[in-house]
Amino acid sequence: MSKKRNTMLFFLFISPWIIGFIMFSLGPIIASIYWSFTRYSIVEAPRWVGLDNFYVIFNGFEPNFFNSVRVTVLYSIFAVPGVIIVSLLAAMMLNIPKIKGMSLFRTIYFLPSLLPMVATAIVFAFLLDPKYGLITKFYETLWY
């Protein structure tokens, strides 16, 4: 294949990721930056206030701000490494082959990742039930 065709295919295959990144990551980041410079209420249009919001926060007019920053930093310092260490220990423990009953423990450990699929299947079974399902009742109201 030619270099131009490879480049076109690359952009074709990467474009869904780029669109998703713009919509779900870059868009909210830009909106947050814009809203940080406005006074915004859910019932009013945003009003531009410039750096006033930051002035209020950093000059002590917002008493909970520095406490919130302290709690966030402490949580990041202790909880994140703690979760990583516990997860690593659990993964190492799951790979020990000589412990009796390890397959049962692996099954119990893996079970929470299966539960959302089971719950979804049950919900759709109720929705699609031929006699009492919500979708059946909806179609009955439309065509009967």
pLDDT tens digits for range 29-41: 999 999 999 998 8
The pLDDT value given to residue 144: 66
**Per-residue pLDDT tens digits for 2-32:** 999 999 999 999 999 999 999 999 999 999 9
Helix (H, G, I), strand (E, B) or coil at 1: coil
3-state secondary structure string, 79-116? HHHHHHHHHHHHHHHHCCCCCCCHHHHHHHHHHHHHHH
Q: Would you say residue 1 has pLDDT above 80?
A: no
Q: Would you say residue 58 has pLDDT above 70?
A: yes
Q: Would you say residue 135 has pLDDT above 90?
A: no
Domain range annotation of the chain: 98-144
Mean pLDDT within 115-122: 88
Give Cβ neighbours of residue 49 (< 8 Å, ≥ 6 apart): 37, 38, 39
